[in-house]
Chains A and B, each alone.
Chain A
Amino acid sequence: MNDRILMLGNQAISRGLIENGCAVATSYPGTPASEILPSLVEWRLAENTRLHAQWAVNEKVAFEIAYTAAMTGLRSMVSMKQVGLNVASDPLMSAAYMGTVGGFLVVCADDPGPHSSQTEQDSRMMAMMAKIPVLDPDSPAQAKDMIAMGYALSEAFEIPVMIRPTTRVCHARQDVAVSPIVADTRQPKFEKNPARWAATPKFRFRLHQSLEQKLSAISNHAATAPQRCNPGADESRQAIVVSGVAAAHTRDVMKDLGLWDHVPLYQVLQPFPLHREFITHLDTAYSQILVIEESAGIIELQIADRRKVLGKVSGTVPSVGEILPETIEAIVAKFAGKSVSPPDLPLTAPGRHPTLCAGCPHRASFFAIKKAAPRGIYTSDIGCYTLGLNLGAVDTFICMGAAISQAAGFYQAFRHEARRPDIVATLGDSTFFHAGIPALIDAVVQNVRFVLVILDNRTTAMTGNQPTPACGRGIGGEPTITVAIEKLVQGCGVAFCETGDPYDVPAFISLVKSAVAYSRETGPAVVIARRPCLLDRSQVESRHPFIRVHVVEKDCDACHYCIQHFECPALITDGKDKPVRVNPAACTGCGVCLHVCPKKAIVITEKV
């Protein structure tokens, strides 16, 4: 069988996993890695293998589950986005020492740009810090091939292997050749070995020694050695070294510039550890080496004679942002002494910024929060609701769960001031499970006077509506035990915990007001804003009845308060002093705007 299927990079990765006998796969959703696990489940359904796939509550938990399964000799995988690996970095560092028995892959997707992330960090640097090998695919097809390569490498050296795709691999689509799915027939077996699996510092020292030996052998491992892309090219004292999607761009660019037959091009498959022979070869054969990679200079760092290198440190290749093919074109042309007139980018018109969906319950919650604590400090978190920024209802966010600890930080900073600001933290249900709970316990212990609004839309919305522990279903729709947010909040020791519906605007505003009042006098207060995400197909039954609304033109004085402070994309206008209209193609009938217009110009048309 040599069929080709059109696949997203993330689907190609999951196809590689299922073709290579992956038995346990875990993840926490995050762009650009989110589609790996769901498409794995789709392949599983098609072929009915015994693979266990699950969303875990966070990346650390996901990592530990998958890693431990590999300790028994099965093949496993954990996937996440780059900042997710920060959360899982603790087990990663130790797993490198203890190594693995079955193949264990850490698929960590980076986001140079950044397009949908807080940082542009290079996970290959994390692999280097942990001392594990990392493979860097240039396309969906190569990402799939690297799964087989990675498993073989992992088992040959009993070491975790990182696969590091980037957004342009994960979210590229390509026709990819598929092979049959191999049913995994391995039996799990756990050999007790405290010196390895429960190693104390003395044994850790030995494990570290053996890790160094493994790395040294891996840097001679033929299967992952750099490849010469254009073996027929003339000999030259100059060479170009590339990896990841930069390799794909560079191949096209060199052909277009007519350099394919004139400058040797090498593609590094395994940026760390860089192959020793390759390092020597570069040193003896070339006097000038251009290195193009995203996003840090990992390959470049390992080259013997740094004076020969043109790359990040020399300022030849940008260290910030995505390296676009047009940038590579200019760099390569200059390197080869070709003059190209770089096109002046005429892409001047600004794009649209993203915004919460029309009728998103978060918009209603933010509106209520601003009414209840108009001069408050608003800490927030990672999710669709980060877009509350546009509404002036998000002042800060750092990383998963930090809304609560930042609220505590502001409280401690201001606690002795005569006028303490109200502090309102917002975070989503999935984020609360992920990293909010420890911070909430801490806030209770320190009696932090703040309000936490948990935006509970019963899903992980931003990344494509993955279930949360409160949903009662797993990734394949299978039923799971449900964990109630109220009980967790109460269990953390919070005395004020009330649930409300943000669509019920007046009642919800007064609920948030009472929480703010409680927090001023007494201690932490939690409001659970419960209303399903509109894009979540699994919650269609719990949709609110459609309320048809329109703007009474004579009552609208074009103040545009609703557009500026509420920003529902269904409320539109033809110009600065033109009245507002409801765009029926966009309106979802939530009815919240009825309470927003200060002139009461938005009214109900009919209830359907």
Chain B
Amino acid sequence: MTIQQQIIISGVGGQGVLFVTRLLAEAAMMKGFPVLTSETHGMAQRGGTVVSHLKVGDFSSPLIRPFSADGLLAFKSESLAQHGGFVKSGGWAVVNSGGPLQSTGELKVESVDADAIAGNIGNLKSVNLIMLGASLSRLSGDCGLFCTLTDILTVLKMQISGAPAKLESFTAAIHAGYKV
């Protein structure tokens, strides 16, 4: 199976954009797909805008061009306006937002109140994993992600095998997002 998927993941420093990028990239690798990411490290990680480009399939450039991404995973609602322009028409956006969002252009927009869910499960720092879980269940068909919930959970287990408590709370956050 050949896969070509380009995904933008954005948020602000400290939200765990890099961690989710890494999980998705590991999942791609586990499934045998070539993978490339480009990440924001350095000064912007101090609460500035952080954006990752994730490319699964046969690419050489680590960056996604405007109007080329399949989708956007936005950990802040403002990211839709900032980074929605990367997504091609017919693409998707899964956005952390308290209310329903105006669908911009020809994007399929899914809003998820990840802040509220994070509050409910008592883990305010888990917005990133809730969003990942939600995108795994909400996207399907033409918009489906290249990996499944099971893939992500397998990767998670490999990544943090040494810390069972952490693994448990991370898994819970992904499930909480998956179920909404």
B45 located at the interface, meaning its Cβ lies under 8 Å from any Cβ of chain A in the complex: yes
Contact partner of A251 (CB less than 8 A), chosen from B21, B60, B78, is B60
Across the interface, do A116 and B43 meet the contact criterion of CB distance under 8 Å?
yes
Across the interface, do B41 and A171 meet the contact criterion of CB distance under 8 Å?
yes
Across the interface, do B47 and A355 meet the contact criterion of CB distance under 8 Å?
yes
Q: A251-B61, A252-B60, A343-B67 are in contact. Are A585 and B124 (CB under 8 A)?
A: yes
Q: A139-B60, A351-B49 are in contact. Are A345 and B13 (CB under 8 A)?
A: no
Return the CB mask of B73-114 against A: 1 if under 8 Å, else 0. Answer: 000001001111110000000000000000000000000000
Across the interface, do B29 and A354 meet the contact criterion of CB distance under 8 Å?
no
Complex: chain A residue closest to B45, CB-CB: A354
B25 located at the interface, meaning its Cβ lies under 8 Å from any Cβ of chain A in the complex: yes
Choose the segment among A84-92, A172-180, A487-495 that binds chain B (4+ C-beta atoms closer than 8 Å).
A172-180
Q: A115-B44, A354-B46 are in contact. Are A6 and B62 (CB under 8 A)?
A: no
Choose the segment among B31-39, B137-145, B162-170, B171-179 that binds chain A (4+ C-beta atoms closer than 8 Å).
B31-39
Across the interface, do B49 and A175 meet the contact criterion of CB distance under 8 Å?
no
> Which residues from chain A contact B82 at a C-beta distance below 8 Å?
347, 349-351
Complex: chain A residue closest to B104, CB-CB: A346
A324 located at the interface, meaning its Cβ lies under 8 Å from any Cβ of chain B in the complex: yes
Across the interface, do A354 and B13 meet the contact criterion of CB distance under 8 Å?
yes
* Assembly CA distance A345 to B78 (angstroms): 17
A352 located at the interface, meaning its Cβ lies under 8 Å from any Cβ of chain B in the complex: yes
* Assembly CA distance A462 to B22 (angstroms): 21
Across the interface, do A249 and B48 meet the contact criterion of CB distance under 8 Å?
no
A168 located at the interface, meaning its Cβ lies under 8 Å from any Cβ of chain B in the complex: yes
> Which residues from chain B contact A384 at a C-beta distance below 8 Å?
46
B149 located at the interface, meaning its Cβ lies under 8 Å from any Cβ of chain A in the complex: no
> Which residues from chain A contact B42 at a C-beta distance below 8 Å?
31-32, 115-116, 462-463
- Shortest CB distance A107–B (Å): 16
* Assembly CA distance A604 to B84 (angstroms): 41
B interface residues, tally (CB under 8 Å) = 42
Q: Which of B48, B65, B86 has the most CB of A within 10 A?
A: B65
B20 located at the interface, meaning its Cβ lies under 8 Å from any Cβ of chain A in the complex: no
> Which residues from chain A contact B25 at a C-beta distance below 8 Å?
6, 173
Contact partner of B46 (CB less than 8 A), chosen from A8, A324, A325, A355, is A355
Across the interface, do B12 and A346 meet the contact criterion of CB distance under 8 Å?
no
- Shortest CB distance B129–A (Å): 15
Q: A139-B60, A347-B85 are in contact. Are A168 and B38 (CB under 8 A)?
A: yes
> Which residues from chain A contact B39 at a C-beta distance below 8 Å?
8, 171-173
Across the interface, do B35 and A6 meet the contact criterion of CB distance under 8 Å?
yes
* Assembly CA distance A138 to B21 (angstroms): 21
Interface range on chain A (Cβ under 8 Å from partner): 35 or more
Across the interface, do B48 and A353 meet the contact criterion of CB distance under 8 Å?
yes
Complex: chain B residue closest to A329, CB-CB: B65
* Assembly CA distance A34 to B45 (angstroms): 14
Complex: chain A residue closest to B115, CB-CB: A585
> Which residues from chain B contact A355 at a C-beta distance below 8 Å?
46-48
Contact partner of B44 (CB less than 8 A), chosen from A139, A349, A354, is A354
Across the interface, do B47 and A6 meet the contact criterion of CB distance under 8 Å?
no
Across the interface, do A6 and B29 meet the contact criterion of CB distance under 8 Å?
yes
Within 8 A of A (CB), among B5-56: 12-14, 21-22, 25-26, 29, 34-49
Q: Which of B39, B42, B125 has the most CB of A within 10 A?
A: B42
* Assembly CA distance A391 to B13 (angstroms): 19
> Which residues from chain A contact B44 at a C-beta distance below 8 Å?
115-116, 354
Q: A174-B36, A175-B35 are in contact. Are A569 and B47 (CB under 8 A)?
A: yes
Across the interface, do B46 and A356 meet the contact criterion of CB distance under 8 Å?
yes
Across the interface, do B34 and A175 meet the contact criterion of CB distance under 8 Å?
yes
> Which residues from chain A contact B45 at a C-beta distance below 8 Å?
354
* Assembly CA distance A387 to B13 (angstroms): 14
* Assembly CA distance A139 to B62 (angstroms): 8
Contact partner of A172 (CB less than 8 A), chosen from B62, B66, B85, is B62
A544 located at the interface, meaning its Cβ lies under 8 Å from any Cβ of chain B in the complex: no
Across the interface, do A168 and B46 meet the contact criterion of CB distance under 8 Å?
no
Complex: chain B residue closest to A324, CB-CB: B63
> Which residues from chain A contact B37 at a C-beta distance below 8 Å?
172-174
Q: A245-B62, A252-B60 are in contact. Are A172 and B38 (CB under 8 A)?
A: yes
* Assembly CA distance A569 to B40 (angstroms): 20
Across the interface, do A168 and B62 meet the contact criterion of CB distance under 8 Å?
yes
Q: A168-B62, A248-B60, A248-B62 are in contact. Are A462 and B43 (CB under 8 A)?
A: yes
CB-defined A-B contacts under 8 Å, sample of 24: A6-B22, A6-B29, A115-B43, A171-B41, A173-B25, A173-B37, A174-B36, A175-B29, A248-B60, A252-B60, A253-B61, A343-B67, A347-B82, A347-B86, A351-B82, A352-B49, A352-B78, A354-B44, A354-B47, A355-B46, A357-B46, A386-B43, A387-B46, A585-B124
Given contacts A345-B66, A355-B48, 16 further A-B contacts (CB under 8 A): A32-B41, A35-B41, A139-B36, A172-B36, A173-B22, A173-B25, A173-B38, A174-B35, A248-B61, A249-B60, A251-B60, A343-B67, A348-B85, A352-B47, A352-B48, A569-B47
Could you list which residues of chain B lie within 8 angstroms of chain A, going by C-beta atoms?
12-14, 21-22, 25-26, 29, 34-49, 59-63, 65-67, 78, 81-86, 118, 124-125
Q: Which 7 A-B pairs have the closest CB atoms?
A: A351-B49, A116-B42, A354-B48, A31-B42, A585-B124, A349-B81, A346-B85
